[in-house]
């Protein structure tokens, strides 16, 4: 145990401690890398980040001029601008998607009136397959289960029957 502690102290004794300037430079560089990554995500998701990019460029310039505090502050501001733009865009996309889903759902049929076989080839499979119903024929069982009081045999449905379409 004592040998391990002595070995550690001997190994550390030869290394210099980091100066405040080196630490500031590394902190600024880390902030720049973080901002670059956030801007890359924004670019990938097609989020406009001109202001964030401008701040990042200024941060890099300050780093070259060895103004590490200014560089770090501008990189952090760049990250914040990009993050806010990304969050706002994601929220706007989610809201638009939710509205589109509501509109789509409102256009979906709540009931369906069976037409003649000769006219539309109506059966539970074909009804479920329709775009305004489920757009998936395998969902025919939902119609059957919701309308068991009207459907004695899922292979036999009749013209004029009105089925509830569960969502």
Residue spans of the domains in the chain: they are 18-105, 108-164
pLDDT at 92: 94
At residue 2, does pLDDT exceed 80?
no
- Which residue did the predictor score with more confidence, 13 or 140? 140
- Sort residue 48 into left (φ over 0), alpha (ψ -120 to 50) or beta: beta
Q: Grade residue 143 by pLDDT with cuts at 50, 70 and 90.
A: very high
Q: Note the Cα 40 to chain centre separation in Å.
A: 15
Average pLDDT (7-16) is 56
Residue count of the chain, please give it.
Answer: 167
- Evaluate whether 65 touches 39 at the Cβ level (below 8 Å): no
148 three-state secondary structure: coil
Compute the average pLDDT of residues 36-57. Answer: 95
CATH classification for the domain delimited by 108-164, as one of 3.10.350.10, 2.40.420.20, 3.20.20.210, 2.70.98.30: 3.10.350.10
How far is it, in rounded angstroms, from Cα 77 to Cα 87? Answer: 15
Count of beta carbons in the 10 Å neighbourhood of residue 60: 19
């Amino acid at each position: 145990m004592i040998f391990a502690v002595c070995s550690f102290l001997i190994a550390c004794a030869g290394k210099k401690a980091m100066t405040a300037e080196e630490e500031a430079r590394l902190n600024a560089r880390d902030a720049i890398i973080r901002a670059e990554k956030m801007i890359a995500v924004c670019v990938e998701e097609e989020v406009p980040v001109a202001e964030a990019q401008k701040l990042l460029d200024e941060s890099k310039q300050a780093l070259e001029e060895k103004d590490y505090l200014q560089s770090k502050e501008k990189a952090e501001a760049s990250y914040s601008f990009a993050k806010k733009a990304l969050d706002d865009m994601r929220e706007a996309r989610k809201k638009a998607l939710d509205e589109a889903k509501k509109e789509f759902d409102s256009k979906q049929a709540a009931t369906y009136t069976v037409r003649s076989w000769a006219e539309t080839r109506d059966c539970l499979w074909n009804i479920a397959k329709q775009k305004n119903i489920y757009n998936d024929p395998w969902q025919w069982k939902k119609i059957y289960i919701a309308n068991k009081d009207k459907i004695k045999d899922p292979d036999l449905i009749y013209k004029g029957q009105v089925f509830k379409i569960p969502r």
